[in-house]
Amino acid sequence: MPTIFDVAASGMEAQRLRLNTIASNLANVNTTKGPGGLPYRRRDVVFASIPQKGFLVPVRVMGIVQDQRPFRRVYEPGHPEADEEGYVMLPNVDPVEEMVNMLSAMRAYEANVAVFNSAKDMALRALEIGR
């Protein structure tokens, strides 16, 4: 059975991967050509909790999926990637949305750290009672 430490650690690991994915999205906000000649497609991490006997359920990363929203089409006739009408296809990454997601991931990570530290403190205090 997983301990509170396992649950908190799985949450921290999941949020770390989420933060890395968000950073990748932000780094590619203007990438017009990627594999296959298409703009970068935003990625997102999919989490799941796998029910187990007992109360504690660790978080599992099920995978990283590509966002299927359409690419942005921006009028920039001087851009080297512009089509015959002067439009450039840009990634479907919204920097504001990514920043909100980053703040959410950071807060979730911090919450898991707080749970881990609280459990550690309680375990140490329980050991002191036995002295």
Domain boundaries, the chain: 4-129
CA dist list (Å): 96 to 2, 29, 103, 120, 123: 37, 11, 11, 36, 41
Rounded CA separation 22/70 (Å):
18
Q: Tens digit of pLDDT per residue, the chain (131 long)?
A: 568 898 899 999 999 999 999 999 999 999 999 888 899 999 999 999 877 776 778 889 999 999 999 999 999 999 999 999 999 999 999 999 999 999 999 999 999 999 999 999 998 998 888 77
| pTM attached to this predicted model | 0.86
